[in-house]
Amino acid sequence: MAKDFEARARDRLEPAVYDYYAGGADDQVSVNDNPRAWQRVRLRPRVLRDVTAVDTTVTMLGATAAAPIGIAPTAAHELAHPDAECATARGAAAAGVPYVVSTLSTRSMEAIAEAASDAARWFQLYVRGDLDRARALVQRAEACGHQALVVTVDVPTLGLRRHEAMALNDRVGLPHMARPDDTGGDTYARHVALTFDDLHEIISWTSLPVLAKGVLRADDAAACVRAGVAGIIVSNHGGRQLDTTIDPPTALEEVAAAVGDATEIYVDGGIRRGTDVVKALALGAVGVFVGRPVIWGLVVDGADGVCAVLDELRTELERAMRLCGAATVADVTHDLVVGP
């Protein structure tokens, strides 16, 4: 279904918009390799287990989700559908999974909350300009009912995205971003090169659980735990930052082995099938996040398309679990995989 949605979305989008969503950095090695990396991990299924009933529910940061799946933060949903992030949130709520709202959303976090008050919403934070501006966003996110804060830590500067032929500010409004005339120039457009001390300070601002997104090394993961994170999202930014990075399943296994007992581990990048979700769980993840497939669903059918993509992924997960001899998510253990 994911490929079908992408083909239909590509037909509907102008080429520059499709390229914005689909492309990666530099030579696009990582963006193309991410899905293949999950295919290189092989399953070693169990047989003769009672899988009459399979339960995909899981607890993510203390809240129950219908499946160990969430929506990764992606920018500018208005380019995909007129209802933008409000439709995405409604689709997530219908599917019963969390949605990570991007700092670069085209609807305000308050409007998204109003449109889908029953959605599990986490807020993704880019720190741009200075920490004071970021603190105001964190306070707003907590005030309008987000359940977690996701700090993206792999953007001291933007990766070189040769495919991007447009500037978001020229196409859509970004309500969480100050306009240049409000900042006396382009200062706010610049990303802050965060340190672990900065991460610790951000954590001190809020009572929400804070996750660090963009970690690919065990030593960095351990330092994030010492800074006080409630979770880590293993991610190479969908291949949009540094090209030719380590692939997500390889990094996930390393990070989970190092800190999996100390914090919750999640992963994104290239997740396309229910078998990919099984592999991620077996390698130590609590859950996965998907980005581009959700965008394609949004383009094709708004909130219903988002829900359809997520439901199909959950259905595939249930089937894969049954074929692996795993009746619950807790039964998906490391012995089910070979590799990466």
Which residues are identified as catalytic?
A: 237
Nearest partner of 89 among 75, 103, 101, judged by Cα: 101
Distance from C-alpha of 79 to C-alpha of 298, rounded to nearest angstrom: 10
- Output the six-digit token pair for 225: 């735990």
Which residues are bridge partners to 290 per DSSP? 71
Determine what percent of the chain falls in helix, strand and coil, rounding each to the nearest 5: 45, 15, 40
Exposure string for 46-70, b = 16+ CB within 10 A, e = fewer? eeeeebeebebebebbeeebebbbb
Beta strands in 72-147 (DSSP E): 99-101, 121-125
- Element at 169 (helix H, strand E): helix 168-171
Q: In degrees rounded to 5, what are phi and psi of residue 5?
A: -60, -40
The DSSP code sequence of 287-317 is EEEE-HHHHHHHHHHHHHHHHHHHHHHHHHH
CA 77 to chain CA mean position, Å: 14
